[in-house]
Structure 1
């Protein structure tokens, strides 16, 4: 039973919700647009068999598909935002289902487009670009497609796979629907014996970080007790997802599923393994030192897994309103200049942000950036300064695509996911710098800011990186034919955690269940990219501190470049060489220096 103290979506103040009328005036308009895009797919098929005729036809086709895809994106994003805001609403569930079915039908109809482009040779593309200068805009797009040539199946098979898109997405959809609509948690009590409502967003955004040890541990027990009830179902969904990826990698003649998943990121296996191996090896000693400090300062007999995100100074957990946090963030990002700040102000004041906590809302935080509209941010606000860092992170994504959208065509907007988390984490680092300076005469606040910075690195260098390490083991087991049962997944997850934290943390069986928390496992090799992005942003923040405007200008140009360059080239434009593992070590050493500062501050 859902506690009465949890709000339903209809009871949420409108100013705490995002304004979807910027996409469609109402659901009726969306329904019409959904119907229209299905019918308009036939217009795209008029180019079938003609893409190699001449340069002008190719440009017309690309322009038509690009304009059409913008309409499709708006329809799909609208449905996704509805169900993310309240996945328990049958109407929203129906919209998501209609959208999914329509997208599958559309993908099937226009799958010919990329298949025909693959019939072109690099010399033919160069000649077309010479004949039609307008195609120069799409040079990278065309050659990126050409890179897939040896992995593309016959047109008939590609069309069949596209038609099965809704089925192939089923594991992720089942996971998401269960998390938002079915899974329920028992209410919990705090140290005062007061009953508190419990939900996954409340746990992940509030209780997990609570200074109240009783509440924090009780919430964890409620959380784990419920996950335990769903573990076999979730394991079946996840194994299906992994099996799908493994079989697709074989069909497409990749050497491994890892190679297939890295291909769209344009990241090498060396880049991938560097992030996982260097950080795990080099960061673990620093974080074990932090764990010992946390145990000491909290006065705990044992530091449990559920205590790792507890505040180091339990009596000091600064509060802030959404409005105050917004002003603080704008001040922190002022160094980025007027164009960037313009986007931030719009996001914060024009209802680009959904910050309510309500039944059916998706857990975590994200930023969705439909081209031709504006970004939409989902967070769950809890009136704590820590939430300002989460908001700043998502605003980093929004600022990135706000600028990229203004300067690039749709097909050139999105860079590799290897880079995607750099703009978001840089905003967190800039916010920390601002707060440190604003509180330079307040040792306690400065110490708190350091712990928030550590929270940023914990999230990206530990939580997501260890998810990546877990994924690597899971794919290895899957390719060897090992059944991915709930017990196997729990065992592997717990081993990854224990190998990192050593004997500084006491682990219970529930720790192994945390693979059930994250939808990123259904998004390919996404988790490890958080560490790549934070590695880039750590070095970029250092450049901005030391060089000021020239570094900011470089960064803004990188954001405006969108997806026009490969990740290493794009990052190099920011003055950073990610082919050198030393840059990863620099970021790890910075984390170590933060922990050393904390320890020193307690001995002063």
Structure 2
């Protein structure tokens, strides 16, 4: 048997394809200096308790000091997290990250008195404070966010206990992360070239694109053999996470975990409800697309492992990382010279960790904090999907860059709710760019439309399916129903059948899909991929087909940070996400492109 192809060790990855974390700390000693300073500052933070009622000056002093410590804490946390994620088997950085998680919990406990004490200040008192100390006005938005939670903040002692138990509450997520990224051992499989390769999350995604159904089936079955072995353990880790959310929602007097999660980001639950309702009303489009896929592939049975292979009868176009950077720069010219200059800064200064190495965290994400440049983690493969992943991550990075450079620290971050809009607007702009570039090339148009339709399926339909599942398991746990592996397998399989329809065989293994999705540990996060993509469809259409004022509106959204509630920020950019119209427009674009795709065949 040929020797299996192994991923490189971290030390063997070319430096230019790794992120440069010396922009955060020159070395680990510099990290330790800040870490030790934060530890020493926890006592002074706690000693400020009881001071907020003593006058405007004391409120200003406490606010500025706590934010300064938090700012430093975010920096050490990000450094440790990125170091750990680049090689999750490295004991040194496992320990460093664990120390930061513990320190974050200690800081949360030390300043847990702040919100309850702030809530003791009446509106009349706050008005006087703003008059007595004008510098406090810079923090009004921050204070108002706390006042909005008045009915859900508990007493000082309880808040301190909850904050101090942060490590315990995150145990399910941490256990899943270690198991999924480090301890699970995947088998060797055969690729299209007859080579033996060790299965990983990245390799699995590539094999599902294979034109050979046997290769796709092998990868699918072998991957789920591993998760099948651990389904009961994974059910326990997910259940722990769900119980955490339901417990906190109950003691904070929210109606349910969904309301608690969305309230944290100032998002009304009508946004979530509208998404599931409108998507379910348009499942006929997904059924139509799946039936077309079956017809084009010419298979007697279409299986879940057949949903990612190209319908063009050939592999995805090959794009190297360097080629992808150039295409991204060309597509984003429409955003104006200032935006493009910062994208070049990202590409030229090692903000991106590019290739997959042994024990590297799977998937991809954007990270960073107020005092660092943004960072992107990739597990690069030379295909169209990774070109889109790069421009997606770049959207996140530019959002962070503009927010950090145009807002003070206290409003320099942005809500998770609006985060995916920036990234998927970039994706939609890339799609328009490529369709225009290849308007006279039917074969490339097929490739791009195939990718777009699959992307819409994966981002709007699939993530909403995830959102339905997430809501269901929280509701079932809240009602006292045990979340056993078999119970979740059965429900997930039936949900999959509803979404994809009769044209596809919902293979038994797909019932296990919940067990390998890390986003189910993120507390009602996934719905934002779907809402974000739909909103981005409107924004990208405005930018591409409208006048230059739409670019200015869009950049102002990027610059807004958390200076207003998220739905208001998006209204200013041109999308009202409390109403279903933006979703309807997204489905209209999908249907038009589905029509175009059908005509090409």
Taking the aligned partners of 1:48 and 1:339, their CA distance within structure 2 comes to 45
Q: Which runs of 4+ in 1 moved over 6 A?
A: none
Taking the aligned partners of 2:472 and 2:336, their CA distance within structure 1 comes to 44
Question: Deviation string for 1:170-206 (max 9, x for gaps)?
Answer: 11111111111101111111345332221122223x2
2:400 is aligned to: 401
Shift of 1:563: 0.7
2:254 aligned with 1:250 = no
Question: Deviation string for 1:117-137 (max 9, x for gaps)?
Answer: 222223322332233332222
Shift of 1:569: 0.9
2:128 aligned with 1:127 = yes
Shift of 1:394: 0.9
Taking the aligned partners of 1:44 and 1:184, their CA distance within structure 2 comes to 45
Shift of 1:289: 1.3
Question: Any idea what SS the aligned residue of 2:497 has?
Answer: helix
Shift of 1:552: 0.3
Q: Does the 8 A contact of 1:419 with 1:532 survive in 2?
A: no
1:432 is aligned to: 431
Taking the aligned partners of 2:38 and 2:569, their CA distance within structure 1 comes to 34
2:485 aligned with 1:486 = yes
Question: Any idea what SS the aligned residue of 1:396 has?
Answer: helix
1:371 is aligned to: 370
1:214 is aligned to: 214
Shift of 1:417: 2.4
2:152 aligned with 1:151 = yes
Q: Does the 8 A contact of 2:429 with 2:544 survive in 1?
A: no
Q: Does the 8 A contact of 1:274 with 1:581 survive in 2?
A: yes
Pair 126,272 (structure 1): closer, same or farther in 2 beyond 3 Å: farther
Question: Any idea what SS the aligned residue of 1:52 has?
Answer: helix
Question: Deviation string for 1:203-236 (max 9, x for gaps)?
Answer: 23x2233333322221111110111111111110
**What 5-or-longer segments of structure 2 have no aligned partner?**
none
Question: Any idea what SS the aligned residue of 1:377 has?
Answer: strand
Q: How does 1:217-296 map to 2 (within 5 A)?
A: 217-282=217-282, 284-296=283-295
2:53 is aligned to: 52
Question: Deviation string for 1:144-163 (max 9, x for gaps)?
Answer: 11111211121111111111
Question: Deviation string for 1:524-550 (max 9, x for gaps)?
Answer: 111111111112111111111222310
1:187 is aligned to: 188
2:555 is aligned to: 556
Q: Does the 8 A contact of 1:201 with 1:362 survive in 2?
A: no
Question: Any idea what SS the aligned residue of 1:367 has?
Answer: strand
Taking the aligned partners of 2:274 and 2:598, their CA distance within structure 1 comes to 29
1:62 is aligned to: 63
Aligned residues: 599
Q: How does 1:420-459 map to 2 (within 5 A)?
A: 420-459=419-458
Taking the aligned partners of 1:4 and 1:312, their CA distance within structure 2 comes to 28
Taking the aligned partners of 1:281 and 1:68, their CA distance within structure 2 comes to 48
Q: Which moved more, 1:149-158 or 1:106-115?
A: 106-115
2:342 is aligned to: 343
Query: Could you say what the CA RMSD is over the residues aligned between the two structures, in angstroms?
Result: 1.6
Q: How does 1:380-419 map to 2 (within 5 A)?
A: 380-419=379-418
Pair 329,102 (structure 1): closer, same or farther in 2 beyond 3 Å: same
Shift of 1:594: 1.2
2:87 aligned with 1:104 = no
Q: Does the 8 A contact of 1:212 with 1:314 survive in 2?
A: no
Taking the aligned partners of 1:38 and 1:174, their CA distance within structure 2 comes to 26
Pair 314,36 (structure 1): closer, same or farther in 2 beyond 3 Å: farther
Q: Which moved more, 1:178-187 or 1:45-54?
A: 45-54
Shift of 1:277: 1.5
Taking the aligned partners of 1:441 and 1:76, their CA distance within structure 2 comes to 50
Taking the aligned partners of 1:441 and 1:307, their CA distance within structure 2 comes to 29
2:35 aligned with 1:11 = no
Taking the aligned partners of 1:449 and 1:523, their CA distance within structure 2 comes to 31
2:568 is aligned to: 569
Q: Does the 8 A contact of 2:4 with 2:195 survive in 1?
A: no
**What 5-or-longer segments of structure 1 have no aligned partner?**
none
Question: Any idea what SS the aligned residue of 2:366 has?
Answer: strand
Shift of 1:510: 0.9
Q: Does the 8 A contact of 1:279 with 1:585 survive in 2?
A: no
2:591 aligned with 1:588 = no
1:508 is aligned to: 507
Q: Does the 8 A contact of 2:210 with 2:315 survive in 1?
A: no
1:22 is aligned to: 23
Question: Deviation string for 1:235-275 (max 9, x for gaps)?
Answer: 10110111111111111111222221121121222221101
Question: Deviation string for 1:472-523 (max 9, x for gaps)?
Answer: 1111111110000111111121121111111111012210111122221111
Shift of 1:4: 5.5
Question: Any idea what SS the aligned residue of 1:265 has?
Answer: coil
What TM-score comes out, normalization by structure 2 length?
A: 0.97
2:116 aligned with 1:115 = yes
Taking the aligned partners of 2:50 and 2:142, their CA distance within structure 1 comes to 20
Pair 574,179 (structure 1): closer, same or farther in 2 beyond 3 Å: same
Question: Any idea what SS the aligned residue of 2:318 has?
Answer: coil
